[in-house]
Chains A and B, each alone.
Chain A
Amino acid sequence: MKPKNIQQVILALEQFWDRQGCVLQQPYDVEVGAGTMAPETFLRVLGPEPYRVAYVMPSRRPTDGRYGDNPNRVQKHHQYQVILKPAPRDVQDLYLRSLTALGINLREHDLRFEEDNWESPTLGAWGIGWQVLLDGLEITQFTYFQQAGGLDLDPISAEITYGLERIGTFIAQVDSIYDLRWSDEVSYRDIRHREEVEFSEYNFEAANTDMLFQLFSLYEDESRRLLERGLVLPAYDYCLKCSHTFNLLDSRGAISVTERVGIIARVRQLACEVARRYLESREKQGFPLLQAQTA
């Protein structure tokens, strides 16, 4: 059955990926720019342990804010993130079947995989893949991760990132995301528009840059301190906080050219150190999910 609104899209994807043996995770409770940054992706793809997970991730890109005026651009959008580790042979087919599960008849549409290699300098991560275009609309980013936190990956994970707003507008055939239904009862505009207006003003005009610079340093110090104590997961939270703080400073135009490169490098250092320590910690635990698999 064709989903009629955003939450039915989410439900259909949850059902589909549940049947593929995915852990259905909940959104991570720290601000991130993309579902990739959540620990369920960034950390789980490291090391030999197999894993399958799917979750919605609200993704904040402060510079994309348009005060609620632009029909397609928002400072917070929603991704549906799937990680399949290792990537199964039929991963493209699985993905295409998930579109069918959304009621999209692929024999009537122009679907293509066009080269688009994902890269995140802040995470020391990159992959090879495509953007998936449906009748010219980019609805998904499809990536075979090759490196995360500066570490070569083995086995390789497939990452499927659906843009929920994009898929929603495609299915509903509307021009503006604000015309989408979130549920039968309320529209996307009803529950999100005010948030876009306020956060755009905050991101571009109101955010206290002095405070943000201080926070950045505090978060960075805390992340380092926690790393030294071997508290890898909390250290990663603070690394993510650094990243979001940087994004806010960027949207306030508070970061000069020379600073920019340096700040990205500082976040990347944290991310790479977290990745290394996480892998050590999993190894010390005997890679529990490897055991679970063979048991």
Chain B
Amino acid sequence: MDMKTGELVVELGVEEIPSSMIEDATSQFAGNLSRLLNEQHLSTGEITKWWTPRRIIVGISDIPVRQDDRRETVMGPPRRVAYDAAGAPTRAATAFAEKAGVLMSRIKIIQTQKGEYLAVDRVLRGDKTLKILQTLIPSAIAGIQFPKTMHWTADHFRFARPLRWIVALFAGRTVRFTIADVKSSNVTTGHRFLGKSRIAVDSLASLQEKLRENSVVVDPAERREIIMSGLGMEAQACGGTLLEDPDLLQTVVNLNEAPSVIRGAFEERFLSLPKEILITVMREHQKYFSVLGSSGELLPAFLAVVNLQRDPGHIIRTGHERVLRARLADASFFWETDRKIPLGDREPALKNVLFQENLGSYHEKTRRILALLPEVTRALGRQDLLPDLETAAHLFKCDLITEMVKEFTDLQGVVGGLYARAEGYAPPVWRAVYEQYYPKSTTSPSPESETGAILALVDRLDTVCGCFSVGLIPSGSGDPFAVRRQANGILKIIIDHRLSLSLDHLIEKSLSGYGRMDGSLAAELRGFFEGRLRFLFEEMGYGYDSVNAVLAAGFDNPLDAFERLRALEDLRQESDFFALASNFKRIVNILSQAGEVIGTLDESTLKDPAEVELWRTHSRIEPEVNAASEKHDYGAALRALASMRGVVDEFFRQVMVMDENLSVRRNRISLLSIVSQPFKRIADISRIVIEKGS
């Protein structure tokens, strides 16, 4: 066997691909390449993934230079039609041999389930990998999916941005193909302004080295380190420390080929603006990092990551400072003029701000929120929060018509909160306004304040139910109103703030705010929330089977479902859990075979000691389980249930459920049904996947 292997290197040269897409595109490309290679029976070694805004680079080591030869058996006609009465091959047989390209003497007979057939063994000669790659790489490129694509050539090939050059090398040789009018070659190009435009390479290592000589750092991890150390140094030079911002860091890693960090300053007078506004202006519009002083205050400085290695005359720095000055001057102007009108006075003007085309204005939304708040605070037993929440609800969307939010849309909520604070509203009020859009994602923090949590929850509930009521229901990748994210937010707030609420109740009240009393819509929403809860739990790291078990036992109160899930996960750590689960699975199987005939238990019919013991144990434990469940102490409840394991084992060893005597049989089935009930209320553990050997 030919064990020679070679290294594959592909660089897709593109016009600047958006920073949010480039990393995923590279992963997809690497995945496509290795999957397609494996489909071609070619093994793959180490996979390298590098990217810059202008390049998607994948290296795969140790790919055999040719496929192994493969044997295969080709089936022909059935034997009975292949030979005539005299035993001579018929036309069917000779045609098969001809087509297979062999003499009749090479034809054999094989036995199959359908009878005897003619067959021939064939050796498929392996192809050269270099040749396979000529079609494989274009398929791997075409298989990259982007959230938004364009076309630019006559063949209408679609990509995020135009492809402009391709380096494709295998074992040092160029893999030749053309895609979207680009011919592959061994020639790459350097940094736009600091590098040569034509650079020949012959391996992954030479690509990296030669691009480095031409001012391109291809490895994003290396760029991240360069940027991190630059940010640290420059922050220190400003006399402070960096305000860390992982998302912004990833963005600038993906935006630069030759990153370096420069620092700049803004006038101290702008420090009279709230910190949140200064940080947002710098981050969202200019992608600058902020610098904090020793007591956490913002310093009048910024750090910018630029795509050059130096700025000797501070030309770039001066330019950035000028742009920031104009931005901050705008922000100061907005901060001053907006506050001339009290936030609450803007409420009527919300009639002119569209919430959603078919769901009316934000003024109408405010009305619905005001109607929902008493319901939700009552359900939570927190009517004490209602006055502050109502005040906040009148204010909370008013910042949408401030100049500040029109300019810095990402600051919606925050700006309203800051204005409310400046107007002297109490912390529960202004914080609720400030935090209404928290959590921004399932991994970012929920509102800190109780009022913020409730207002954020109610606002999203109204959005989700409203969207469903007008058919804006997420499907596949289509979710223009981000309804999924909104629902995730509701559930995350419920869990983080330990809010005990009924989804059915919330849905019903919210839909009635839209004048909808629609059972099927409510059911659809319930199903949607179940899916979101499953997503959230799995994202939190819980096993999908535990999640299934818990959701099958109900999810109307998501907090309760979460507590059952945690208890179940704890129990899973214990050694005899899987024995318990398999017992329970057995019970569920028996019950499902028995169908609907489960009747009531007749204690007097119990005669086998094992079944009597099961019943006794159950009767003893059930109140314990119920009491623990009442207190949401599902750990104790499950432990009590788990203590029945020995008794259940013994029952199955000693007792034949399917007794010939029908009334005995029915009674035993009823017993099992009763015994299984408490599980079904906490977690249907028959859904736990039991791996062999555990």
Q: Does A128 contact B (CB under 8 A)?
A: yes
Tell me, in angstroms, the Cα distance from A155 to B323 when the chains sit together: 37
Partner of A156, one of B151, B181, B308: B151
Partner of B329, one of A71, A136, A257: A71
The residue on A at minimum CB distance from B306 is: A110
The answer on a CB contact under 8 Å between A257 and B319 is: no
Collect the chain A residues with CB atoms within 8 Å of residue B5's CB: none
The answer on a CB contact under 8 Å between B319 and A109 is: yes
Tell me, in angstroms, the Cα distance from A203 to B435 when the chains sit together: 36
> Which of A20-28, A113-121, A237-245 binds B?
A113-121
Tell me, in angstroms, the Cα distance from A181 to B324 when the chains sit together: 22
Shortest Cβ distance from A128 into chain B, in angstroms?
4
A135-170 contacts to B (CB < 8 Å): 135-137, 144, 146, 154-156, 169-170
Q: Does A226 contact B (CB under 8 A)?
A: no
Beyond A115-B19, A260-B354, is A106–B319 a contact (Cβ under 8 Å)?
A: no
Tell me, in angstroms, the Cα distance from A141 to B53 when the chains sit together: 18
| Partner-B contacts on A (CB < 8 A) | 70-73, 87, 89, 92, 96, 106-115, 117, 127-128, 130, 134-137, 144, 146, 154-156, 169-170, 173, 175, 253, 256-258, 260-261
Collect the chain A residues with CB atoms within 8 Å of residue B313's CB: 108
The answer on a CB contact under 8 Å between B315 and A72 is: no
Collect the chain A residues with CB atoms within 8 Å of residue B20's CB: 115
Interface 1/0s, chain B 319-352, versus A by CB < 8 A? 1101111100110010000000000000000011
The answer on a CB contact under 8 Å between B320 and A113 is: no
Shortest Cβ distance from B506 into chain A, in angstroms?
27
Interface 1/0s, chain B 1-44, versus A by CB < 8 A? 00000000000000110111000000000000000000000000
Tell me, in angstroms, the Cα distance from A34 to B323 when the chains sit together: 23
Beyond A72-B326, A96-B192, is A110–B308 a contact (Cβ under 8 Å)?
A: yes
The answer on a CB contact under 8 Å between A135 and B352 is: no
The answer on a CB contact under 8 Å between A137 and B319 is: yes
Beyond A107-B193, A111-B193, A111-B307, is A257–B353 a contact (Cβ under 8 Å)?
A: yes
Tell me, in angstroms, the Cα distance from A114 to B18 when the chains sit together: 7
Collect the chain B residues with CB atoms within 8 Å of residue A130's CB: 16
The answer on a CB contact under 8 Å between A135 and B315 is: yes
Shortest Cβ distance from B29 into chain A, in angstroms?
19
Q: Does B612 contact A (CB under 8 A)?
A: no
Collect the chain A residues with CB atoms within 8 Å of residue B304's CB: 110, 136
The answer on a CB contact under 8 Å between A173 and B193 is: no
Tell me, in angstroms, the Cα distance from A263 to B319 when the chains sit together: 41
Tell me, in angstroms, the Cα distance from A22 to B308 when the chains sit together: 33
The answer on a CB contact under 8 Å between A136 and B324 is: yes
Collect the chain B residues with CB atoms within 8 Å of residue A87's CB: 152
The answer on a CB contact under 8 Å between B323 and A71 is: no
Tell me, in angstroms, the Cα distance from A25 to B308 when the chains sit together: 37
Tell me, in angstroms, the Cα distance from A155 to B311 when the chains sit together: 41
The answer on a CB contact under 8 Å between B357 and A261 is: yes
The answer on a CB contact under 8 Å between A115 and B152 is: no
The answer on a CB contact under 8 Å between A136 and B319 is: yes
The answer on a CB contact under 8 Å between B319 and A135 is: yes
Partner of B323, one of A109, A137, A144: A137
The answer on a CB contact under 8 Å between B352 and A256 is: yes
The residue on A at minimum CB distance from B154 is: A155
Tell me, in angstroms, the Cα distance from A256 to B349 when the chains sit together: 10
The residue on B at minimum CB distance from A253 is: B352
Beyond A87-B152, A144-B150, A175-B326, is A257–B351 a contact (Cβ under 8 Å)?
A: yes
Collect the chain B residues with CB atoms within 8 Å of residue A107's CB: 193-194, 308
Q: Does B164 contact A (CB under 8 A)?
A: yes
Residue of A128, A173, A253 with most partner-chain B CB within 10 A: A128
Collect the chain A residues with CB atoms within 8 Å of residue B53's CB: 112-113
Shortest Cβ distance from B550 into chain A, in angstroms?
41
Q: Does B161 contact A (CB under 8 A)?
A: yes
Q: Does B361 contact A (CB under 8 A)?
A: yes
Collect the chain B residues with CB atoms within 8 Å of residue A175's CB: 322, 325-326
Residue of B148, B150, B307, B325 with most partner-chain A CB within 10 A: B150
Collect the chain B residues with CB atoms within 8 Å of residue A111's CB: 192-193, 307
Shortest Cβ distance from B120 into chain A, in angstroms?
50
Collect the chain A residues with CB atoms within 8 Å of residue B354's CB: 257-258, 260-261
Q: Does B229 contact A (CB under 8 A)?
A: no
Residue of B160, B313, B326, B329 with most partner-chain A CB within 10 A: B326
Other CB < 8 Å A-B pairs besides A109-B308, A136-B323, 7 of them? A109-B316, A110-B306, A110-B319, A137-B322, A144-B150, A173-B322, A257-B352
8 residue pairs bridging A and B, Cβ less than 8 Å apart: A108-B313, A108-B316, A109-B315, A110-B311, A135-B320, A144-B152, A156-B150, A257-B353
Q: Does B376 contact A (CB under 8 A)?
A: no
Collect the chain B residues with CB atoms within 8 Å of residue A117's CB: 148
The answer on a CB contact under 8 Å between A113 and B152 is: no
Tell me, in angstroms, the Cα distance from A253 to B349 when the chains sit together: 11
Collect the chain B residues with CB atoms within 8 Å of residue A110's CB: 304, 306-308, 311, 316, 319-320
Collect the chain A residues with CB atoms within 8 Å of residue B150's CB: 127-128, 144, 146, 156
Residue of A70, A114, A127, A260 with most partner-chain B CB within 10 A: A114
Collect the chain B residues with CB atoms within 8 Å of residue A146's CB: 150-151
Q: Does B166 contact A (CB under 8 A)?
A: no
Tell me, in angstroms, the Cα distance from A169 to B318 when the chains sit together: 13
Shortest Cβ distance from B151 into chain A, in angstroms?
7
Q: Does B58 contact A (CB under 8 A)?
A: no
Tell me, in angstroms, the Cα distance from A108 to B313 when the chains sit together: 9
Q: Does B286 contact A (CB under 8 A)?
A: yes
Shortest Cβ distance from A212 into chain B, in angstroms?
18
Shortest Cβ distance from A125 into chain B, in angstroms?
14
Q: Does B453 contact A (CB under 8 A)?
A: no
Collect the chain B residues with CB atoms within 8 Å of residue A71's CB: 326, 329
Collect the chain B residues with CB atoms within 8 Å of residue A114's CB: 16, 19, 255
The answer on a CB contact under 8 Å between A135 and B307 is: no
Tell me, in angstroms, the Cα distance from A211 to B684 when the chains sit together: 70
Across chains A and B, which 9 residue pairs bring their CB atoms closest together, nearest first?
A135-B319, A115-B18, A128-B150, A110-B306, A113-B16, A257-B354, A136-B323, A136-B320, A106-B193
Collect the chain A residues with CB atoms within 8 Å of residue B311's CB: 110
Tell me, in angstroms, the Cα distance from A110 to B311 when the chains sit together: 9
The residue on A at minimum CB distance from B362 is: A257
Shortest Cβ distance from A102 into chain B, in angstroms?
15
Residue of B15, B154, B256, B320 with most partner-chain A CB within 10 A: B15
The residue on B at minimum CB distance from A92 is: B15
Shortest Cβ distance from A216 into chain B, in angstroms?
19
Tell me, in angstroms, the Cα distance from A173 to B325 when the chains sit together: 13
Tell me, in angstroms, the Cα distance from A10 to B234 when the chains sit together: 39
Tell me, in angstroms, the Cα distance from A256 to B350 when the chains sit together: 11
Tell me, in angstroms, the Cα distance from A109 to B18 when the chains sit together: 21
B255-291 contacts to A (CB < 8 Å): 255-256, 286
Tell me, in angstroms, the Cα distance from A136 to B352 when the chains sit together: 34
Shortest Cβ distance from B150 into chain A, in angstroms?
4
Collect the chain B residues with CB atoms within 8 Å of residue A156's CB: 150-152
The answer on a CB contact under 8 Å between A112 and B255 is: yes
Collect the chain B residues with CB atoms within 8 Å of residue A134's CB: 319
Collect the chain A residues with CB atoms within 8 Å of residue B324's CB: 136
Shortest Cβ distance from A258 into chain B, in angstroms?
8
Collect the chain A residues with CB atoms within 8 Å of residue B318's CB: 135, 173
The answer on a CB contact under 8 Å between A89 and B255 is: no
Tell me, in angstroms, the Cα distance from A245 to B354 when the chains sit together: 21
Collect the chain B residues with CB atoms within 8 Å of residue A137's CB: 319, 322-323
Shortest Cβ distance from A79 into chain B, in angstroms?
19
Tell me, in angstroms, the Cα distance from A127 to B318 when the chains sit together: 33
Tell me, in angstroms, the Cα distance from A44 to B481 when the chains sit together: 35
The residue on B at minimum CB distance from A169 is: B322
Tell me, in angstroms, the Cα distance from A267 to B501 when the chains sit together: 48
Collect the chain B residues with CB atoms within 8 Å of residue A72's CB: 326, 330
Tell me, in angstroms, the Cα distance from A170 to B323 when the chains sit together: 9
The answer on a CB contact under 8 Å between B361 and A257 is: yes
Collect the chain A residues with CB atoms within 8 Å of residue B161's CB: 128
Collect the chain B residues with CB atoms within 8 Å of residue A135's CB: 315-316, 318-320, 323
Tell me, in angstroms, the Cα distance from A154 to B256 when the chains sit together: 32
